[in-house]
Structure 1
């Protein structure tokens, strides 16, 4: 009899019953005592082993399916391009990739040829056969095949033996497991090609990486491809250019953002809202320098734990200075500028502080991964007695800010102590407990993300979900007992003695650049009216209506609306199309009946026309919408 673990329960089956169950469940692999193995491992199972069935629809099964598809892709590439060398080909989230050493990039036409060859291999239903051989045998095998990268990997393996997989004459170094045969691949698609350095090191050779995806069914694949098309439509880099929001120039430098006039308007609206709400919440606003003496970062601990993310220091009057990667040491200095009492606490400092961090050129991505960005940063200095309450207030503030921008779904994580850290275990436990208790008090569900805290303390990370249900890391709340100790900051307590405050680091939006990128993709560039760089455009049907249109333009400007007047001598259909492409919320059309009746015709960017209304009524409606920061009918579904 064989012990089968299913949904937490163990059932004993004979081998025939097990085989029938495996066929019924469309299994592609098994777990033996918790270890993933090929289905062929059934032959070696003992009665004391515990078995689990892995179906292709499970997360582990889907990963195996995609990993096997990556092998089939490598097989197809080798058949079509024998001189290409293969490197590694793992499954990743939503798909797989394989890196190839080839001087030129693969073209779209070549990708289609590779897909066609893959279909031939799949149709042949060739089995994946696993073998364990000695390292010496493996090196000799891959030397004969001319696969230098495989030999490099083998030489780094500590075990005496390695496993290889063969299917249809193609041999690859791999731990496995794999699907039983190639015919189990039902739906796949090669997506794109990108450059990738061997082992991710810019000093190594540039390889050609082919990305693809695979699913258990064609329906799932087609749904995913539709999802990718929607992502393309919402790509903030494309929309940023179309809507003239931001630019990145090689002449200025990679990862450095230029905010164009339209983007600058949106940023101003965000900043004004952020500042007003922080003042209401009892924060004091700060501005701090962009550089400081290098010694400041040594004292804060950033040089020891964060140096690889910092730009090289510069020399000023023979003293080393550093572009700031963080704002916190500056806020510490503000705290130290006066003697502090328990009556002053909690003390809340907030700053839209621009910081600079080194990122490899290969990971830079529009607004989402940059080298210079503005954090909506704040630091709260408090006593241990009011720590939990302050965390709860920050949670409430975060949720208010996010919901105002249209984000009501999120995932919350507590990131715990990393391997490399400062401070005592006791302080780490106190800080982690305070974060957990605050979340429990607010009835907010959370998960633990082990080892992902920052070097000075644990943190709450909030990942917002956009309209496509993609998660984006933005908000963070961090408790820090350590930096106050490093800088020796104190406050005088009720007892007349000096005590050490606790420091809370927090960012609600994360960075303005990243948050703007997420906003663009969430709304597909069609911002709610309160955020839109141009809220209304006035368009005339003919030149004789310009005087009336100019009067309307002046009235709207006087009311504080962001409005544009389109005086161009073009057909009204062209003007409407252009305003729609620019995603302007309201189009005010002026013709004979509007000019004669002293009214306006209003068209929404969705294509809906409102009734002919008085200008004053329109102003009242739009100002109410802006004040409430709502535009529900304009939020993409």
Structure 2
């Protein structure tokens, strides 16, 4: 039997018979690995375990511990769910059913509006089908045969997907799973029996292809695991996530308000939320001041031609508010979708020398997008949001150092906010997509430069093609919150395209005109999204320097209101954000109420405190901390605020 060599992730190389499968390789290593194996990665591509290997390859056996293993597991679970839906609702037509970051979903069209009880029935059917251990069988067939199959089935959604494939002779893959067949590129698990524990979480409406003009389908979200303990832990985390939901806490802590009277996706910042927001802004403004940024302010609207020049108008056209038309002068304006074209006007307003660069403009600029109503979600998906935007104009020889400086600033922000774990993604162009502007040679140069800067800063990154902005590659930062969930927040981008479109120039040391390179950056990203994530990360229990209310002053009774006012004024005079609780309520009630408001410190004053000029200190969740003199306590918390501990 002819032999082939296989290289493993640890660098070891072993010989196997030609034609060996991933499952057989796993079995040769250990019985446990064979039991836990879900798929195999061959030369960087994830495939089914039954694929034969016929030549040298680098392989990795994927289990549920691997992100790509989870993706295969959850994508197969979405097929299992579709199988169960078809068994219970034979008239069902299916859209798409991908794996997502946590679990899976499937969009489908049936005659019945599903309820919680229906989800339970689908769950039970999934477990039954999984127990039958149907293999996932891949079948390849010509496009015309696939069209014939789904035409007989009457599934217009699969036919629409097939119609968009250009080559009529292209080989199409479908997967059979018992009596259920689905259009899919795979890969999948060996069989349904691998799927052990399932929980369907919710059902919602979803327009086909995300277009409100199309029919609204139903979407079921679910999660699945190979072990019951994993499911139990996930459901516990889900309950904790509900407790931390920023929409719930934002209302309870009086941070923001969204009302249909103003409009969906248009948040109103209440006093406490405004204090929180301004504290974040002031923190970043101070960090920017140290690094030579210049503050600017630009209008909320602009002439539509400005965005046509930049490319934002055609690129974001479908998600913009309609143009504002004025009869006088026959002019059209847009609510600005981006701040950058405005900043380019500032740069171009006068002649620039090579000695002037880098120039760093910074603005907390509000932009507008008409997100679909079904996509709106508290502060994390809105229709107007403020970006901590900056555009840095540099010479070529300054570019990498400046990108490294931006990365360092983003790291400072994340560390200060308590985001200790984050990963990065280098978002590059996809040569098969036409959205990108500019010279491809400059794109290649920008991608190489941003990668070198990431390497210089020691970033742990992956490269994702197709995720670049239409004008340049970028580094996207994904942080993990207290529950281990990933959020895309900060970004830094290199742009050779906009300087060309806006004819931006500087006079070089040679006396000739040159193009600057533009760096776009936003450590927070969107302030709205960032604060929504912060609320959930801290469960509303902000560190003292960020807290809208840092101290609550609680007189035991109305008899000590004068002294409580004296204490309250002392806090205010020292820049400490305090509230005086002058309600005629029992002290126990007040303490319990302020605990629910998550204020870190309460100071209680009565006869003894008034006589001794002290305060009795309570700390959120920790209780009585004893008595301190007013000045002593002020010094203590002032130091805590200053150190941002």
Superposition TM-score, scaled by structure 1 size: 0.89
Counterpart CA distance in 2 for 1:524 and 1:329 is: 37
Residue in structure 1 matched with residue 227 of structure 2 by the alignment: 217
CA change 1:305–1:269 in 2 (3 A) is same
Structure 1 residue 527, shift from structure 2 partner: 0.9
**Are 1:374 and 2:386 matched, yes or no?**
yes
Residue in structure 1 matched with residue 85 of structure 2 by the alignment: 77
Residue in structure 2 matched with residue 66 of structure 1 by the alignment: 74
Residue in structure 2 matched with residue 192 of structure 1 by the alignment: 202
Contact 1:54 1:60 in 2 (8 A): no
Per-residue CA distance 1:305-355 (angstroms, 9 max, x = gap): 443343322112221112111222222222233332333222222111111
| Structure 1 stretch displaced more, 110-119 or 190-199 | 110-119
Counterpart CA distance in 2 for 1:134 and 1:448 is: 33
Counterpart CA distance in 2 for 1:274 and 1:534 is: 20
Counterpart CA distance in 2 for 1:156 and 1:456 is: 27
Structure 1 residue 426, shift from structure 2 partner: 3.9
Structure 1 residue 218, shift from structure 2 partner: 1.3
Per-residue CA distance 1:465-487 (angstroms, 9 max, x = gap): 32233332222222223322322
Structure 1 residue 587, shift from structure 2 partner: 0.9
Contact 1:380 1:505 in 2 (8 A): yes
Residue in structure 2 matched with residue 254 of structure 1 by the alignment: 264
Contact 1:493 1:499 in 2 (8 A): yes
Structure 1 residue 356, shift from structure 2 partner: 1.3
CA change 1:90–1:588 in 2 (3 A) is same
CA change 1:193–1:483 in 2 (3 A) is same
Contact 1:530 1:626 in 2 (8 A): yes
Residue in structure 2 matched with residue 486 of structure 1 by the alignment: 501
Structure 1 residue 130, shift from structure 2 partner: 5.4
Q: How does 1:482-631 map to 2 (within 5 A)?
A: 482-630=497-645
**Are 1:270 and 2:311 matched, yes or no?**
no
**Are 1:446 and 2:461 matched, yes or no?**
yes
Q: How does 1:17-56 map to 2 (within 5 A)?
A: 21=28, 24=32, 25-26=34-35, 27-28=37-38, 41=50, 45=52, 54=61, 56=63
Structure 1 residue 120, shift from structure 2 partner: 2.8
Any unmatched runs of 5+ in structure 1? 631-637
Counterpart CA distance in 2 for 1:130 and 1:11 is: 28
Query: What secondary structure sits across from 1:386 in the alignment?
Result: helix
Structure 1 residue 165, shift from structure 2 partner: 4.6
Residue in structure 2 matched with residue 635 of structure 1 by the alignment: none
Contact 1:33 1:49 in 2 (8 A): no
Counterpart CA distance in 1 for 2:322 and 2:471 is: 23
Structure 1 residue 567, shift from structure 2 partner: 1.9
Structure 1 residue 32, shift from structure 2 partner: 8.0
Q: 1:457 aligns with which of 466, 469, 472?
A: 472
Counterpart CA distance in 1 for 2:209 and 2:163 is: 15
Contact 1:291 1:323 in 2 (8 A): yes
CA change 1:583–1:426 in 2 (3 A) is same
Residue in structure 2 matched with residue 296 of structure 1 by the alignment: 306
Counterpart CA distance in 2 for 1:545 and 1:516 is: 37
Contact 1:311 1:323 in 2 (8 A): yes
Q: 1:111 aligns with which of 119, 129, 152?
A: 119
Structure 1 residue 103, shift from structure 2 partner: 4.6
Counterpart CA distance in 2 for 1:421 and 1:161 is: 29
Contact 1:105 1:193 in 2 (8 A): no
Q: How does 1:405-420 map to 2 (within 5 A)?
A: 405-419=417-431, 420=435
Counterpart CA distance in 1 for 2:345 and 2:162 is: 52
Per-residue CA distance 1:258-306 (angstroms, 9 max, x = gap): 1111101111212222333323322221111111111112222323444
| Structure 1 stretch displaced more, 346-355 or 267-276 | 267-276
Residue in structure 2 matched with residue 97 of structure 1 by the alignment: 105
| Structure 1 stretch displaced more, 334-343 or 216-225 | 334-343
Query: What secondary structure sits across from 2:213 in the alignment?
Result: coil
Query: What secondary structure sits across from 2:121 in the alignment?
Result: helix
Residue in structure 2 matched with residue 11 of structure 1 by the alignment: 15
Query: What secondary structure sits across from 2:392 in the alignment?
Result: strand
| Structure 1 stretch displaced more, 583-592 or 181-190 | 181-190
Per-residue CA distance 1:151-198 (angstroms, 9 max, x = gap): 555566645876555545444444555444433322221111111112
Structure 1 residue 236, shift from structure 2 partner: 1.3
Any unmatched runs of 5+ in structure 2? none
Q: 2:342 aligns with which of 330, 336, 344?
A: 330
Query: What secondary structure sits across from 2:499 in the alignment?
Result: helix
| Structure 1 stretch displaced more, 371-380 or 271-280 | 271-280
CA change 1:297–1:173 in 2 (3 A) is closer
Counterpart CA distance in 1 for 2:297 and 2:634 is: 36
Counterpart CA distance in 2 for 1:63 and 1:446 is: 19
**Are 1:320 and 2:332 matched, yes or no?**
yes
Per-residue CA distance 1:340-379 (angstroms, 9 max, x = gap): 2333222222111111123222222221122211111122
Residue in structure 2 matched with residue 399 of structure 1 by the alignment: 411
Aligned length: 627
Residue in structure 1 matched with residue 442 of structure 2 by the alignment: 427
CA change 1:46–1:245 in 2 (3 A) is closer
Contact 1:88 1:99 in 2 (8 A): yes
Structure 1 residue 114, shift from structure 2 partner: 2.1
Contact 2:73 2:195 in 1 (8 A): yes
Residue in structure 1 matched with residue 396 of structure 2 by the alignment: 384
Contact 2:476 2:488 in 1 (8 A): yes
Counterpart CA distance in 2 for 1:240 and 1:168 is: 48
Contact 1:373 1:513 in 2 (8 A): yes
Give the CA RMSD over aligned residues: 3.1
Query: What secondary structure sits across from 1:196 in the alignment?
Result: strand
Q: 2:353 aligns with which of 301, 320, 341?
A: 341
Residue in structure 1 matched with residue 372 of structure 2 by the alignment: 360
CA change 1:174–1:431 in 2 (3 A) is closer
Per-residue CA distance 1:53-84 (angstroms, 9 max, x = gap): 85543444433333333333233333334444
Counterpart CA distance in 2 for 1:274 and 1:72 is: 48
Counterpart CA distance in 2 for 1:19 and 1:273 is: 52
